[in-house]
Structures are given as structure tokens and as C-alpha cells.
Structure 1
């Protein structure tokens, strides 16, 4: 057992940060081995559908969803490999290698939260400025916003690698949660993430308030007896949807961010370090849930997914039938075969 306040010699190989017991390693490792591949497959599927569908690629909403999926793909790769490599396989990297890996994890999660904010702002503009939405949020502006987001994310995430690191190496007063990390940088990044989360909460609260006000206006104009019940059903559906999104978001991120804020002001015990290791896996769980909340709930994306699967099945059947016919036909000198063109007439191709 090591003590950050009295014994720094045992921290030469990052032993003070490898605090998990065997049972905890098994439990958290199981979460990572399960959530990591699921997160990667889900978000890769969303990226593939959007990339293969021209109509979705042109719309800012799906560009933001694609950015979220890309960030979560990075999170599934960087976090899972780095976390398991450090806590389960107890790999002791040097400052440069460790900060590079940590920068990749930070970039992935920061981009994920930033993409969630852009998605929330997109939905707010859609309901607040419905008549001029397409003029306000063009594809060019959406791409520009994504470029700004990813540029800022990369810069902020790799600041410790550039030079904003702990001046005393592994000794206090540096972070007890992350080796080589300056407490000032940890406070800066945690505050940045909390601001993003607060903006997301405000955006969805404004969306719900605007939708409620709109339904009240429509009820007053129409004056139908059943309109009030319809308005209540719409408000309840919106409240449930946004409530679910916000509960999952806050539940996954607030515990880890709370430990990071505590690490800046107090000396964390080994028990608190182990609790933080578990809470950090909740961020990966949030990346696994994001495709279900933001992508697969969209009817257009589900339709595009079904159409893509149908096209792939048709291509597979055609390829199998072509191979079967080629196996039963005698080979010719010029290797020509007959194909059906788009207009239905037979044509020759080499």
C-alpha cells in the first residue's frame, strides 16, 4: 500500500494508481469487454448507414449524429484498450506514451459531449426557428461547426502532452486519479465538460418549454375538445423522451466529474480511486446508449438501414447466382459473359 503524502518512491512505476483488487478487475474488465465491442459495432453501423445514404449526408442533423457516432467509436477503442492495459494488465508507460493515450480518451469523450450539444442546439433551432431553420443551419455551417468542435477538442485534450503536465512528475500536488496530470488542467477540463452538460440541459429545457407553448397556442386557435388531450399526450411524450436522455446523460457523467472536482481540492483515498475507476466506465456505457437514443430512434435512419440491408442481400444473391452460373458454363478464350443492362436488354461485358 502506498501513501501519496508520505511515500513517493513506490510510484515510480505508477503503482499508486493501479488500485483495483482482483475482484474489481474482473468486474470492471467484464464491463469493458462487453460494452466496448457493442459500442463500436453500434456506432460503426450508424456511421456506415449515414455514409452510404446520400440524402442523410446532406442534412445537418445527421452530420451531427455522425460526429457523435465517430466520437463514440473512438471512445470504444481508446478507452477500452487504455483502461484494460493500465488497470488489468498493469502496463507502466512513460509520461509521453501515457499522456498520448489519455489524450485520445479525453478527445473521444469531449467530442462526444460536444456533439451531443450540437445535436441539442440543432433540435432547438428546428423548433424555435421552424420557418427559417433550413436557411439558418445549412450544411456548410454544420460542417464548419463540426470542424471548430473537433479542432477545439483536439487542442484541449492534448494540452498535457504539449506541456501542461504535472511539474513534480508523480508526486503531490498532482492528480491522484491520472498520472502526470496537473490539477489545474484537471479543474479546467472538468469545468469545460460541466459547462457543456449545462448547455445541453438548458437546450432541452427550452425545447420542452417551446413545444408546450406551441401546443397551447394551437389549442387556443383550434378550440377542439380533443385537442387538449392530444396536446397533453405530446407534452408527455416529449417530457419522457428528454427526461430519459438527460437522466442517462447526467447519471453517466456526473459521478466521474464529481470525483475529478474532488481530486482538485482534497486528497483521495484508495477506496475513492477505485470508485472513480468504476464511475469512469459509465462514460463508456453512455457511448453505447447514444446510438439508441439519437440515431436508431430516427425513422429515416431506420428506413435507410433497412434499404442498405436489402441492397446488400440483393448483391449477395446476385454474386452467388453469378458464381454458380460461371461454374457450370464452359470457359471461353476472351472470358466474356452476358449481363443485363439497366434498360433490360442483354449486353456483353468483359
Structure 2
């Protein structure tokens, strides 16, 4: 690839990494701080898990993707370990999406038993299982299904000469293409995606039937459920649309050889897969009202903080004093209790 193309690719990767970090930190703050009792709801817990995986893509996967393109010379074992980190984060995203789909399905089809099944303890256990399984599946090449025998032999041959450095580390020099196609793509990505597609198909089919049969009050609740299901299904569609092209390129590389995919096309697929982690926070902001409201609260606090930092301390004091006076003078009605409760809760969260 030409030098200008490599510069453009690196700049885009840096931009995606920054967007992943900032956007997903905002998601975690919005869910954990901005939405009351959100961590008691399994769906939001799994959304936080997905956001953490996307954040780690920006912190670890994107820098490793740039480095593991021949820029570093390390031992084959370390090269393999670094390459597997990318697989672990991808698998964590897939399993988090699967957990969300299962949770919405159980919530809709077993409403009486849902509260008994979806306890906070079981939710955290499910999250632990997702990340443990992600590590086991992502680090599978470390147990023998790798492709660095030639790289290791080159490294051993060159180690006898002190003037010759180790061979460069690249992803496909240590990760086997059969592993990426048969195990990672078909078994760890496509199989969960098919299960999630069936679950969401059942969810929408059931919601459509219930909306026709229910009354006005029940329809409002069902419409909220349908809107959330549509938003989560959109996250799933974006994941599939961003990751499947890269896996299809791996299939072409396996069955037709290196000439089947140009280097520029491969880099485009890598950028698209990484961009998925930066797009998810935008989807949450546009499609999920609770997260959208939490975003607005965070931005308002951030703007007030900026005003305070720029010397408007008198304005901050007057704003805080006016809020306190407003709470005191509102009387003993229900609105005062609500304002006092929200003010107490925000102060406790800030502590």
C-alpha cells in the first residue's frame, strides 16, 4: 500500500480509537450514574458489558491492529498473545449481544418468572460467564491452533546472529486462517448471530400479535418494549454489517489465496470492524430514551463545570444557592419531595 494510504489508515484508526474511548466511557457513566437503579436491570448491565468491550477495542485492539502489521519485532509467543487479545474483545461483544437478546426474550415470554430468574446475582454471574468464555474462545490459538511454526523457525535461525533482528509480527503470521474461518467465524460469530436473529424474530412476532389484541394501556408498555427491541436489534445489525465483510475476506484468503483480497480492501474491512465500537454510543443516544436523558444530564453538569473552571464561580454559587432556595420554598408537596430526593441522590452519587 502507498505511503499516503498508510498514513490515512493510521489517522482513521487513531480517530476511531479516540471515539471508542470517549463514547463508551460516556455510555458507562450514563448507565451507572445517570439512570436510577440501572444496574439492577439485566439489559443495562449487558449494555455496560458491551460498552466496556467497545472501550477496550479503542484502548487495546486498535493500537494492536496498527502495531501488528509488521511494525514490531517480538517473539512468536508474544506476537500470538497480542493477536489473541483482539479475538477476546470481539467474542466479548458477541456474547454480550447474545445475553441482551436472551434477556429481552425471557422478559417478554416469561413475564411472571422473569423477576425470579433475572436477579442481580444471576445477572452478574451471566456477565462473568460471558467474559470467561470470551477469554477461553479468544485464547484458543495459545493451546495449539496457531500458525507461527515458520515464524518461530525463522526467529530461531536468526537468533544465532546478533546483527539480525526478529521477524516482524503480523496477525496472519501467527493466527491460522482455518481457525479464523471454521472456528472463529462460523462457530463463534455466525452461530450466535443466527441464534440472536431467531430470538429477535420471535420477539417482534410476539409483540406484533400482542399489540393487536391488547388495550390502550397495555399497548403503551408494549410499544416501549418494541422500541427498545428495535434499538437493540439495530445494534446487532450494525455489528453483523461491520464484522462480516472482514470475515468474508478471510474466507477468500483461505480458499483463493493472498491475491483474492488487496491490501487496501483488507484495511478497509479492519477499519469498518473497529468503527462498529464507535457507532454503538451514537445508537444508544438516538434510540434509547433513558440513555438519551442521562447523556443530557451529564452534558449539563459538564457545561456547568466548564463555566466554573473559566472563572464564573459567582455564577455557580448563585446557581447552587437558587436551587437550594427553590427546594426550600416549594413547600411540602409531591414536587418538593421529588426535587429533594433527586438533589440528595445526585449529591450522594457525586460523593
TM-score (norm 1): 0.71
Structure 2 distance, partners of 1:315, 1:31, is 31
| Alignment of 1:189 onto 2:184 | yes
2:253 to 253, 263, 267: 263
Shift of 1:316: 7.5
Aligned equivalent of 1:59, options 41, 51, 60: 41
Instruction: Count matched residues.
Output: 296
Task: Give the Cα separation in 1 of the matches to 2:50 and 2:137.
Answer: 18
* Contact in 2 for aligned 1:190/1:257 (Cα 8 Å): yes
Query: Displacement of 1:213 after TM fit?
Result: 1.3
Structure with greater helix percent: 2
Q: Which residue of 2 aligns with 1:178?
A: 172
Q: Describe the superposition over 1:271-316 as per-residue Cα deviations: whole angstroms up to 9, x where unpaired.
A: 4454222212211111111122246632223333444455566678
Structure 1 Cα separation of the partners of residues 301 and 21 of structure 2 = 23
Is the 2:252–2:260 Cα contact (8 Å) retained in structure 1?
Answer: no
RMSD of the TM alignment (CA)?
3.8
With over 3 angstroms needed to count, the CA separation of the structure-2 counterparts of 1:293 and 1:318, relative to structure 1, is closer
Change (3 A) 1:142 1:265: same
Alignment partner, residue 80 of structure 1:
62
**Match of residue 23, structure 2, among 42, 58, 61:** 42
Alignment of 1:114-193 (within 5 A): 114-166=95-147, 168-170=149-151, 178-186=172-180, 187-191=182-186, 192-193=188-189
Cα 1:268–1:322 change in 2 (3 A) is closer
TM-score normalised by the chain length of structure 2: 0.71
CA radius of gyration, larger in: 1
Deviations for 1:200-247, whole angstroms, at most 9, x for unmatched residues? 2222212211111111222xx78xxxx9xx9xx999978975774454
Match of 1:212 in 2: 208
Check if 1:299 corresponds to 2:293. no
What 5-or-longer segments of structure 1 have no aligned partner? 1-19, 325-339, 345-350
In the alignment, is the contact (CA less than 8 A) between 1:114 and 1:149 conserved in 2? yes
Q: Residue 258 of structure 2 aligns to a residue in which SS?
A: coil
